[in-house]
């Protein structure tokens, strides 16, 4: 049984001028309420609100409760953020404090 929480914004700003509205599906793997997990979640929310407002969905998976769920995305370290959509699938490991790295990983900034 999956243990997950899904978050979607209720409203969002207008589409960005340069692209059509692409829906992001993000999955954050955590290990209970560890400090890094909490920090990762807080940072992810902030980034999504700033750059993906109205077009993102966050799924939280607690691997402390259901470790088997790690195999789907081949998770090794926690916390890990997985961008499921848009493809390609990307993984970002850590508490997401390095915003530049996160934006690159989400293809929102060029390297």
Partner 1 sequence: MKKAIQTRQQLEIENAELRSRLEEAEETLSAIRNGEVDAFVVTKTKSVQTIPLYGTDYLYRAMVEYMNEGAVTLTPDGTIFYCNPYFAELIQTPSGKLIGSSFQILIKQDEQNAFITLLKTSSQTNAQVEFYLQKTTSTSIPVQLSLYKLETENLIAISMIVTDLSERKRTEQALQQRNRELTLLDHANKVITSSLDLDQILAHVLAELYQQMQVIGSFWLTDFRSGELVCRQASGPSGKIIQNRHLLPGQGISGWVAQHGESLIIPNATLDPRHFGEIAHLTGEVYLSILAVPLRSKKNVIGVLQVLDSQEGRFTMADLTIVESLAASAAIAIENSRLFESLQSELKIRQQTEQKLHELSITDELTGLNNRRGFLLLAEHHIKLMRRIDKTILLAYVDLDGLKQINDTLGHLEGDKALIQTAFILRKTFRESDILARLGGDEFAVLITINEYDHYQLIMDHWEKNILEFNTLQQYPFKLSMSIGILSLPSDNPFSLEEMLNQADKVMYEQKQKKKGY
**Binding footprint of partner 1 on the chain (CB under 8 A):** 31-37, 63-64, 67-68, 70-71, 75-79, 91-95, 97
- Cβ 66 to partner 1, closest distance in Å? 9
Q: What secondary structure does DSSP assign to 3-35, as a single string? A: -EEEE--S---PPPTTS--PPEEEEEEE-SS-H
CB of 78 to partner 1, least distance (A): 4
**Given the complex with partner 1, which of 11 and 74 has the nearer CB atom?**
74
Closer CB to partner 1, residue 7 or residue 31?
Answer: 31
Least distance between partner 1 and beta carbon 38 (Å):
8
Minimum distance, C-beta of residue 3 to partner 1, in the bound complex (Å): 12
Nearest residue (CB) to partner 1, 15 versus 66:
66
Which own/partner pairs from 39-43 qualify as long-range (CB within 8 Å, at least 24 positions apart)?
39/95, 39/96, 39/97, 40/79, 40/81, 40/94, 40/95, 40/96, 41/79, 43/95, 43/96, 43/97, 43/99, 43/102
């Amino acid at each position: 049984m999956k243990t997950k929480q899904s978050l979607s914004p209720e409203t969002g700003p207008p589409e960005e001028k340069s692209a059509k509205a692409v829906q992001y599906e993000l999955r954050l793997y955590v290990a209970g309420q560890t400090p890094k997990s909490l920090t990762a979640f807080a940072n992810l929310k902030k980034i999504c609100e700033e750059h993906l407002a109205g077009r993102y969905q966050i799924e939280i998976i607690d691997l402390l409760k259901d470790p088997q769920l790690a195999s789907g995305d081949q998770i090794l370290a926690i916390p890990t953020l997985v961008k499921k959509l848009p493809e390609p699938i990307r993984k970002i490991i850590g508490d997401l404090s390095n915003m530049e790295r996160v934006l690159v990983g989400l293809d929102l900034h060029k390297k």
